[in-house]
Structure 1
Amino acid sequence: MNRHSLLLLSGLSLLLAACASPNQVTRVAPQDSVVPLAKDGRYQNLYPGEKTYPVTCEQSCYPPHPDVICQAPAEQCRYQGTQQAPSMATGFTVRWLGHASFAVTAPDGQYLLFDPVSDQFDWPVNWAAALSDGTWRTRGEWPMEEDLARTSAVFYSHLHYDHFNKDDIRRIGNQARYFVALDSASHFADNGYQITEMAWFTRRALGELTVHAVPAHHFNSRIWVPYLYEDNERSLWAGWLVEHGGKKLFFAGDTGYSEHFKDIHQRYGQIDICLLPIASYHHEQYARWYRYVHTTPEDALTAADELGCKVMIPWGYGNASWQMGDKSSHSALLRLLSMRKQMDSRVPLLILNEGQQVSL
């Protein structure tokens, strides 16, 4: 590269740096917060080690269900059953955007986004996935521009590319406040974002809402190219509990089953609305690992019972999913409906198709 090119690049870098606006980062981490660290300083789960699970489906786990109408076996389906959500008067309106993404209107009118990702993955994994096996998730139900403009807060459970998309952060803009777990703010571009980093079991006021960061049983490696990590458990992961007037909405984020669900219930009591994952547990070669960090449908039902969920809204399946760690687009939903009957679960289920919303 010649001297002229170097000067041009230097000038461009200075111009971009001048245009960048530093982010405002608040850290909520009291000294007595429960955040376990490994010996090398990396974060770890509250309950690491081998797991035993209360219930496991062993055979005939994916029977067809009359309320799940599919174009092909367990593929391109819609749930058409009668919804039996209890009358709750929480003031929350929940819209499922697809995969792990939710838009929630809170009782005080604030518009909240949870793990908003519009496309399959954040760059560059989106290109790597398409080039490697040709898979490409159908675009989910993304909020309208006017909804993005009125967003009060965005919550990210962790940094994996299907939950944290930097391009979507740019689209949402810096008028919203961003809530992340500890040591995650460095992954935002400098654009004047208001970022709150939180430890597990800490809280923060947001208008009339109280935001609680709670544990999840997961991990946080952010992989660029094979075996090269941008972040390898040096940023924490979390679930989120939003409270208004004693009414509580819980977004679990990606999580496996562990005792942390009982811990959450012990601290916060019964939870009105539980947004719980039921997918990405199946893998022929790495079945134990996938289930270790993701809940099966029967794990999610067990967790909902332990949390005291007054209604459970499942996510992770659907036509806007890419069957990552699952058999088909709706296999997890079929397993959920089957296991709910086998387990005689009394937790009310509210099953949405992508784009649907419900006021509770």
Structure 2
Amino acid sequence: MHSSAFLTLIVIFSLAACSTPNNVQQQIGERAVIEQVTEGENQGMYRNLYRPEKGYPDYPVTCEANCYPAHPAVACKAPAQDCQFTGTQRAPELKTGYSLQWLGHASFLVNTPDGQQLLFDPVFGQFDWPVNWAQHLAGIIKRPYTPALSVEQLAATDAVLYSHLHYDHFSHASIAQIGTAATYYLPLGMAAYMPNGGYNIVEQAWYSQSQQGELNIHLLPAHHFNSRKLFNDNNRALWGGWLLEYADKTLFFAGDTGYSDHFKDIQQRYGDIDICLLPIASYHHETDGDWYRYVHTTPEDALVAAKELGCKVMIPWGYGNASWQMGDISSHSPLLRLLHMQQQLESQVPLLILNEGDSVAL
């Protein structure tokens, strides 16, 4: 066959694949919670469960001074920058059957007790277009490193769970790498932002449940917001965290979230959580710090949340040499603040500190 004709066939097949409609199902259920604006120009927008009448909420505890002291178990090339945790990675013997690898920022690979492989918020490399293009022009927000997954590892993915649409958590480029064999679990409204190509998608409401093999997958509330475009789509899709439940063993990925009473609600519904993957970064901003904290937990907020969730082990994320350092002082300032506030609060929640790429069986 002539090479030009062969290339034409490739383009035709590629276009046909991209135009294949996705298979979308919704899970809501009797116990589900859907919080939306019911009238006015914002009608239909999703909103957080707990909203102060004005201003920002009062938080249980706030670090006021000397929040980032150096720590002997955090070795850095510069103060709080380009660091490695060198301490003992000690976890309680939970015997849950879960194992996981932290891929950096909010991305995790999780192997479940029933032999499945899941990905949480997989974003490999840089942002999607057009943010990567703008980032290249500006020369900022570079992500220097992400642990690579092989083609075989990606092909072995049974399910992908995305928490919300922001570019550091939801990636069309990564979805294309993973492919259509996996089932994609999304909060309500997010299927409209998936590429076409025959993807199997399950949309869920807060406190709804899906079955994946022997695994129960619950979408839980987060205190955040959602958008993908510059205009007209603010909070038109839901956001949330994910709870995996196998027998009586649970793993909770909180997604991006600020602190609110939703953590107490989760514990009341599901009991103490075995493994908690909680964010501790992106809360700092010189001029708009109140807003950043409203939608991102500080390290001390995360410690309080872990206690309220009854976490048997807390694994923090969001910091690191491969983070985009949005809303952070430096790559490891959140980790230093976490270790400092753990002592200040005399927190009894076991911490398991990972470096990007680290794996652990629990």
User: If the TM-score is normalised by the length of the shorter chain, which range does it land in?
Assistant: over 0.9
Cα deviation, residue 142, structure 1: 2.9
One-letter identity of the residue aligned with 1:68: V
One-letter identity of the residue aligned with 1:48: R
Cα deviation, residue 230, structure 1: 6.2
Q: Which residue of 2 aligns with 1:333?
A: 335
Out of 265, 268, 292, which is 1:266 matched to?
Answer: 268
Once the two structures are superposed, residues 37-60 of structure 1 have per-residue CA deviations (whole angstroms, 9 ceiling, x without a partner) of 113110000002231100100000
Q: Which residue of 2 aligns with 1:125?
A: 131
Out of 176, 186, 189, which is 2:192 matched to?
Answer: 186
One-letter identity of the residue aligned with 2:266: I
One-letter identity of the residue aligned with 2:124: S
Q: Which residue of 1 aligns with 2:26?
A: 27
Q: CA RMSD in A?
A: 1.6
Q: Which residue of 1 aligns with 2:293?
A: 291
Cα deviation, residue 84, structure 1: 2.2
CA contact (8 A) 1:78 1:353 kept: yes
CA contact (8 A) 1:120 1:139 kept: no
CA contact (8 A) 2:250 2:275 kept: yes
One-letter identity of the residue aligned with 2:97: G
SS of structure 1 residue aligned to 2:92: coil
Q: Which residue of 2 aligns with 1:135?
A: 141
CA contact (8 A) 1:75 1:330 kept: yes
Q: Which residue of 2 aligns with 1:351?
A: 353
One-letter identity of the residue aligned with 1:192: G
SS of structure 2 residue aligned to 1:340: helix
Q: Which residue of 1 aligns with 2:47?
A: 44
Q: Which residue of 1 aligns with 2:7?
A: none
Structure 1 segments of 4+ aligned residues over 6 angstroms from their partners: 12-15
1:275 equivalent in alignment to 2:308: no
Cα deviation, residue 138, structure 1: 1.1
Cα deviation, residue 240, structure 1: 0.1
Q: Which residue of 2 aligns with 1:222?
A: 228
Q: Which residue of 2 aligns with 1:9?
A: none
CA contact (8 A) 1:304 1:312 kept: yes
User: How far apart are the structure 1 equivalents of 2:26 and 2:324?
Assistant: 35
**Residues 19 and 34 from structure 1, CA distance in 2 versus in 1: closer, same or farther, beyond 3 angstroms?**
closer
One-letter identity of the residue aligned with 1:236: L
User: How far apart are the structure 2 equivalents of 1:47 and 1:18?
Assistant: 42
User: How far apart are the structure 2 equivalents of 1:15 and 1:73?
Assistant: 49
Cα deviation, residue 127, structure 1: 1.8
CA contact (8 A) 2:34 2:205 kept: yes
One-letter identity of the residue aligned with 1:139: Y
CA contact (8 A) 1:222 1:230 kept: no
Q: Which residue of 2 aligns with 1:247?
A: 249
TM score, norm. by length of structure 2? 0.92
User: How far apart are the structure 2 equivalents of 1:306 and 1:211?
Assistant: 21
Cα deviation, residue 135, structure 1: 3.0
CA contact (8 A) 2:18 2:196 kept: no
Once the two structures are superposed, residues 159-217 of structure 1 have per-residue CA deviations (whole angstroms, 9 ceiling, x without a partner) of 00000000110110000000000011011111110000000001011001000110000
SS of structure 2 residue aligned to 1:96: strand
1:310 equivalent in alignment to 2:312: yes
User: How far apart are the structure 1 equivalents of 2:313 and 2:153?
Assistant: 26
Out of 187, 200, 213, which is 1:207 matched to?
Answer: 213
| 128-137 vs 71-80, greater mean Cα deviation | 128-137
Could you tell me the percent identity over the aligned residues?
A: 61
Q: Which residue of 2 aligns with 1:106?
A: 112
Out of 148, 168, 177, which is 2:174 matched to?
Answer: 168
User: How far apart are the structure 1 equivalents of 2:14 and 2:151?
Assistant: 29
Once the two structures are superposed, residues 230-284 of structure 1 have per-residue CA deviations (whole angstroms, 9 ceiling, x without a partner) of 6310000010000111100000000000000001000000000000000000000
SS of structure 2 residue aligned to 1:146: helix
User: How far apart are the structure 1 equivalents of 2:349 and 2:30?
Assistant: 36
SS of structure 1 residue aligned to 2:160: strand
Q: How many residues align?
A: 345
| 88-97 vs 134-143, greater mean Cα deviation | 134-143
TM score, norm. by length of structure 1? 0.93
